[in-house]
Amino acid sequence: MAIIETRRTIISTQLNSDVSINNNEDLSLEQRIDFMDVISESLRISQRTHLFNWLQGGFQSLVGHEIMIFGIKSSENDPYTFEYFTSSRYFGDAQFNAVIEQDTGLVSQVLKLWRKTTLPLFVNNQDKPIQLGNYTVINFDQNVLINSELKNFVIHGFGHNHSKLSSIVIFARLHKQANTAYAHMLELIMPHLHCALIRVTSNRDNASASADNLGRLITKRESEVLQWLHMGKTNWEISTILDISPLTVKNHVQNVIRKLSVLNRSQAAVKAAKLGLIKMLK
| Tens digit of each residue's pLDDT (9 = 90 or more) over 78-112 | 788 898 889 889 999 999 999 999 888 999 999 99
How far is Cα 71 from Cα 78, in angstroms, rounded to an integer? Answer: 11
Q: What is the pLDDT of residue 14?
A: 39
Q: What is the pLDDT of residue 139?
A: 94
Which residues in the chain are classed under CATH 3.30.450.80? 8-208
Which residues in the chain are classed under CATH 1.10.10.10? 218-274
Question: Which of 179, 151, 200 is closest to 51 using CA atoms?
Answer: 200
Q: What is the pLDDT of residue 10?
A: 43
Q: What is the pLDDT of residue 282?
A: 40
Q: Report yes or no: 106 and 116 within 8 Å, Cβ to Cβ.
A: no
User: Which CATH code for domain 8-208?
Assistant: 3.30.450.80
Per run of 10 residues, the mean pLDDT along the chain (length 282 residues) is 40 39 69 91 85 87 93 82 89 92 91 93 91 92 93 90 78 92 93 90 58 70 88 90 91 86 82 73 43
Question: Which of 84, 237, 96 is closest to 169 using CA atoms?
Answer: 84
- 12, containing H or E segment: none
End-to-end CA distance of the chain: 27
Q: What is the pLDDT of residue 6?
A: 38
Q: Report yes or no: 108 and 100 within 8 Å, Cβ to Cβ.
A: yes
| Tens digit of each residue's pLDDT (9 = 90 or more) over 173-182 | 999 889 898 9
Q: What is the pLDDT of residue 207?
A: 52
Long-range contacts of 256-264 (CB under 8 A, 24+ apart): 256/218, 256/222, 256/225, 256/226, 256/229, 259/214, 259/217, 259/218, 259/222, 260/214
User: What is the fold, at CATH topology level, of the domain defined by 218-274?
Assistant: Arc Repressor Mutant, subunit A (1.10.10)
